[in-house]
């Protein structure tokens, strides 16, 4: 199969054209895609046509499925496939999941290495997903800041009391299955590309070991402000057929609620198992 992989920015994102993942991929292509994923952090594989089982099969080119904490939020008839939708609500208002920068499910001892989306319904404009590169941000930090944060460990809970936004409540069954908090380094090393990255999630970080909460929150806010500069960003403008996979060890991301909420935005979503951050 003839295909090409081309960078979307100098630091983050690559576009793959000429592959139909429903035809299956041979060992060599699978290895090339996984190498490109570790190098570019976000892959946009264009021109796909997936039913939920086909989406699962495509995801498995990159790893093993990871169960969403909110088990009840799956595509009807497909318990393994989750979704994001602008039709959800929390009491009294519309709920947009992923509306502020975060990395997925960092409350787990071994958080998912990757997340994938595939659009079913898109607004006519807007609704982009924004990514920022946490390797680049880490590399550029002043030496004194690197020294200050290397070795610090943060406690990630399901929903931090300091979170900038709400999460929808879990069903009783899902709540029972949430693991104990993940305690993770603020700086982690990517197991495949060997680069260091900031590992931050204001939605889930509730404390940093050995620091007063006020100082810990101040540090997370300072690092987030640094990391979310536009120069580290790849902003994905959705097209039908885009299979997008991102590396939760390299980028943080957010959903953009800048579109007409009378239009439907609905995407299938899957995650892949990762390792304990180190």
Which residues contact ligand SIN (rule: CB under 6 A)?
Answer: 84, 97-98, 115, 129, 253, 255
| Most distant CA atoms of the chain, gap in Å | 56
Q: Smallest gap, in angstroms, from Cβ of residue 98 to ligand SIN?
A: 2
Nearer to ligand SIN, 84 or 132 (CB): 84
Nearer to ligand SIN, 85 or 193 (CB): 85
Residue 142 to residue 191: CA distance in whole angstroms: 24
Q: Smallest gap, in angstroms, from Cβ of residue 210 to ligand SIN?
A: 30
Nearer to ligand SIN, 43 or 84 (CB): 84
Nearer to ligand SIN, 3 or 95 (CB): 95
Alpha-helical (H) ranges within the chain are: 27-40, 52-59, 134-140, 143-149, 172-177, 213-227
**Minimal CB distance to ligand SIN: which residue?**
98
Residue 1 to residue 26: CA distance in whole angstroms: 9
Q: Smallest gap, in angstroms, from Cβ of residue 194 to ligand SIN?
A: 26
Nearer to ligand SIN, 213 or 258 (CB): 258
Q: Smallest gap, in angstroms, from Cβ of residue 152 to ligand SIN?
A: 25
How many other CB atoms are there within 10 angstroms of residue 93's CB atom? 8
Residue 32 to residue 222: CA distance in whole angstroms: 37
The CA-atom distances, in angstroms, between 108 and each of 69, 105, 158, 159, 274 are: 10, 6, 8, 12, 10
Number of H helices, E strands in the chain: 6, 19
Nearer to ligand SIN, 159 or 211 (CB): 159
Residue 248 to residue 193: CA distance in whole angstroms: 13
Nearer to ligand SIN, 98 or 181 (CB): 98
Question: What phi, psi does 177 have (nearest 5°)?
Answer: -100, 0
Residue 109 to residue 161: CA distance in whole angstroms: 19
Question: What phi, psi does 124 have (nearest 5°)?
Answer: -70, -20
Q: Smallest gap, in angstroms, from Cβ of residue 158 to ligand SIN?
A: 15
Q: Smallest gap, in angstroms, from Cβ of residue 81 to ligand SIN?
A: 13
Q: Smallest gap, in angstroms, from Cβ of residue 124 to ligand SIN?
A: 16
Nearer to ligand SIN, 170 or 255 (CB): 255
- Pair 65, 273: CB distance under 8 Å: yes
Q: Smallest gap, in angstroms, from Cβ of residue 66 to ligand SIN?
A: 13
177 CB burial (10 A radius; 0-12, 13-18, 19+): exposed
Q: Is 93 helix (H, G, I), strand (E, B) or coil?
A: strand
């Amino acid at each position: 199969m003839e295909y090409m992989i081309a960078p979307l920015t100098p630091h983050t994102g690559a576009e793959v054209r000429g592959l139909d993942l429903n035809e299956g991929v041979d060992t060599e292509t699978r290895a090339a895609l996984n190498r490109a994923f570790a190098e570019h952090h976000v892959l946009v594989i264009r021109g796909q046509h997936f039913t939920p089982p086909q989406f699962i099969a495509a995801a498995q080119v990159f790893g093993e499925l990871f169960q969403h904490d909110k088990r009840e939020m799956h595509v009807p008839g497909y318990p393994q496939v989750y979704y994001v939708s602008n039709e959800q609500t929390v009491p009294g208002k519309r709920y947009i999941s992923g509306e502020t920068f975060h990395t997925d499910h960092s409350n787990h001892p071994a958080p998912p290495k990757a997340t994938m989306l595939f659009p079913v319904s898109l607004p006519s404009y807007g609704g982009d997903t924004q990514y920022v590169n946490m390797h680049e941000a880490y590399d550029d930090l002043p030496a004194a800041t690197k020294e200050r944060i290397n070795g610090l460990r943060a406690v990630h809970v399901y929903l931090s009391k300091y979170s900038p936004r709400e999460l929808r409540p879990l069903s009783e069954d899902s709540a029972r299955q949430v693991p104990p908090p993940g305690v993770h380094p603020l700086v982690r090393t990517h197991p495949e590309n060997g680069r260091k990255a900031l590992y931050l999630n204001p939605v889930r970080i509730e404390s940093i070991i050995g620091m007063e909460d006020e100082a810990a929150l101040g540090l997370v806010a300072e690092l987030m402000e640094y990391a979310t500069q536009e120069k580290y960003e790849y902003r994905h403008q959705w097209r039908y057929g885009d299979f997008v996979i991102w590396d939760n060890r390299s980028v943080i991301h957010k959903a953009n609620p800048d579109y007409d909420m009378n239009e439907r935005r609905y995407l299938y979503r899957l995650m892949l198992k990762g390792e304990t951050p180190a």
